[in-house]
Amino acid sequence: MVVEEFFAQTRVFVVTGKGGVGKTTLSGAMANLAARHGLSCLVVQMAAPGASRPPETAHLSRLFGQDGVLDYEELVLKPLDGPEPAGQVRARALRADTALVEYLHAHGMKRLSRRLATSGALDVVATAVPGMPDILVLGKLKQMERAAAAGQPGAPDVIVLDAPAAGHAVRFLQSPHGLLGAATGGPVRAQAEEVVAMLSDPTRCQVVLVTTPEETPVSETVETAQALEDKAGAALCTVVVNGRMPHLDLPADLCAEVLVGAAGRRGARLSEPGANELVAAAALRRARQRSEAAQVERLAAELPLPQLELPFCFSTELGPAQLALLTDALESGLASWSPVRL
C-alpha cells in the first residue's frame, strides 16, 4: 500500500498501548511520514483522564530535534528529510479544562469561561462528573476532525491522537457510550452522540495499537483490542510492534577460541575473557531474538490484525536520527501492508 493510501483510510488515528511501549514515538514517526508525503499532520497529545497537569510533552519535540513543551497553542515541528514540498507537523496538548474553555467560547459563553478560570473552578467543573473530562476532550477531537473533513483553512489532513495508556484508553473511548445511557437530553447527550458517531465510523477514526515484542505487553494488547472493539465500538487499523531487535545471524556454536582466532587474523587482539563476554552477549541476543519472534507469532495468532514493525534503536535518547530511521521502517513496512486482517 502506498503511504498516501494508508493515511487516506481515516482522519483520526488513535495511538494506544501499554505505558511506555512507544505511543509517543510512533505518533512522531507517523506524523513525520505523513509530512514526508506532503500531508499536514496534527499530533494531539492528551493526559490520562482526570489529570489536570499537561501530559509528558518534551519527548515528541526532542524527536524532531526541538525544545518545547506542548500546550494549548499548536507547536510547529520541523518535518525531517522530506521531499519538496514537504507537509507540516504540528502538535498540541489536549486537556479537559482547556477543551471546556474552547467549548464555552464556541457557544457564546466567554464570560462564564472567564469567571470559571479566574475563580479556579474550571478544573473542578471539567472533571467533576465521571466521564465529563473524556467527553470534553473527545468533543474537541471531533470538532478538529470535522474541520479536517470540511477542508477548513489550516485544518490538518491527518490527526494522530497520542492517547493515554491502554487501560485508560478503553475507559476513555467507552465513556461517551456511558453518557448516552445516562443523559436523556441537552448538550452533553448531543455531544456524546456525535462522538460515538465518530468513534464508530472507520472512515473518521481508527485505532493503532502499539506493543513491544514481550509477553505481558502482547497479552495486554490482545485484551485491549477486544475491549476497544466490543465496548467502545472502535475500528482497529493495525498493530505496531515497537523496539524489535534488528536480526543478527549468530551461530549457536560460536566459541571464545574461534573469536580470538578471527580477531587475530584481522590484526586485532582479543583477550580470552573479552571473547567469553562476547560469546555470552551473543547467546543473550539469540535468546532475545527467539523470544521476540515467538511473541510476534503469538500476537499474529491471537490478534487478527495487520502488523508493522519498528526496530529497537540503540540510543539512550531518541532524536532526529532515530526518528528518521523509524520513519523509514514505517514506510518500508507500509509497502507490503494491507488492511486485510491476518
Ligand X SMILES: Nc1ncnc2c1ncn2[C@@H]1O[C@H](COP(=O)(O)OP(=O)(O)OP(=O)(O)O)[C@@H](O)[C@H]1O
Residue 171: which of Mg ion, ligand X, none does it interact with, CB under 5 to 8 A by kind?
none
Q: Spell out the long-range contacts of 51-56 with Cβ–Cβ below 8 A and sequence spacing 24 or more.
A: 51/95, 52/95, 52/96, 52/97, 52/123, 52/127, 54/93, 54/95, 55/93, 55/162, 56/24
Shortest separation between residue 210's beta carbon and Mg ion, angstroms: 10
Shortest separation between residue 178's beta carbon and ligand X, angstroms: 24
Instruction: Please name which of 44, 31, 46 lies closest in space to residue 78, comparing C-alpha atoms.
Output: 31
Cβ distance to ligand X smaller for residue 234 or 241 = 241
Shortest separation between residue 117's beta carbon and Mg ion, angstroms: 27
Pairwise CA distance, residues 133 & 119, whole Å: 19
Which parts of 215-254 interact with ligand X (CB under 6 A)? 242-243
If one asks whether residue 208 binds ligand X (CB under 6 A), the answer comes out as no
Beta strand pairing call for 88-94 and 40-46: parallel
The answer to whether 325 and 290 are in contact (CB under 8 A) is no
The answer to whether 45 and 193 are in contact (CB under 8 A) is no
Q: Please give the angle made by the CA atoms of 37, 339 and 80, to the nearest 5 degrees.
A: 20
Nearest 10 degrees: Cα torsion 189, 191, 195, 201: 80
If one asks whether residue 318 binds ligand X (CB under 6 A), the answer comes out as yes
If one asks whether residue 139 binds ligand X (CB under 6 A), the answer comes out as no
The answer to whether 117 and 51 are in contact (CB under 8 A) is no
If one asks whether residue 313 binds ligand X (CB under 6 A), the answer comes out as yes
The answer to whether 66 and 78 are in contact (CB under 8 A) is yes
Q: Cell numbers of 183, please?
A: 443523559
Instruction: Please name which of 337, 138, 131, 302 lies closest in space to residue 226, comparing C-alpha atoms.
Output: 302
Pairwise CA distance, residues 70 & 79, whole Å: 16
Q: Which stretch binds ligand X (CB under 6 A): 23-31, 78-86, 102-110, 145-153?
A: 23-31
If one asks whether residue 61 binds ligand X (CB under 6 A), the answer comes out as no
If one asks whether residue 310 binds ligand X (CB under 6 A), the answer comes out as yes
Residue 173: which of Mg ion, ligand X, none does it interact with, CB under 5 to 8 A by kind?
none
> Which residue ranges make up the site for Mg ion (CB under 5 A)?
23-24
Residue 306 CB-density burial (10 A; 0-12 exposed, 13-18 middle, 19+ buried): buried
If one asks whether residue 62 binds ligand X (CB under 6 A), the answer comes out as no
Which parts of 264-293 interact with ligand X (CB under 6 A)? none
If one asks whether residue 179 binds ligand X (CB under 6 A), the answer comes out as no
For residue 202, the surrounding DSSP H or E stretch is none
Pairwise CA distance, residues 55 & 161, whole Å: 12
Shortest separation between residue 55's beta carbon and ligand X, angstroms: 7
Cβ distance to ligand X smaller for residue 59 or 140 = 59
If one asks whether residue 59 binds ligand X (CB under 6 A), the answer comes out as yes
Q: Which stretch binds ligand X (CB under 6 A): 80-88, 139-147, 179-187, 312-320?
A: 312-320
Which residue, chain included where needed, has cell 489536549? 94
Shortest separation between residue 164's beta carbon and ligand X, angstroms: 8
Cβ distance to Mg ion smaller for residue 11 or 168 = 168
Beta strand pairing call for 12-17 and 158-162: parallel
If one asks whether residue 49 binds ligand X (CB under 6 A), the answer comes out as no
Shortest separation between residue 104's beta carbon and ligand X, angstroms: 29
Cβ distance to ligand X smaller for residue 49 or 148 = 49
Contact residue for ligand X among 1, 117, 165, 263 (CB under 6 A)? 165
Contact residue for ligand X among 4, 5, 20, 230 (CB under 6 A)? 20
Q: Which stretch binds ligand X (CB under 6 A): 14-22, 246-254, 267-275, 278-286?
A: 14-22
Count of residues that interact with ligand X, criterion CB under 6 A: 17
Binding site for ligand X (CB under 6 A): 17, 19-25, 56, 59, 165, 242-243, 310, 312-313, 318
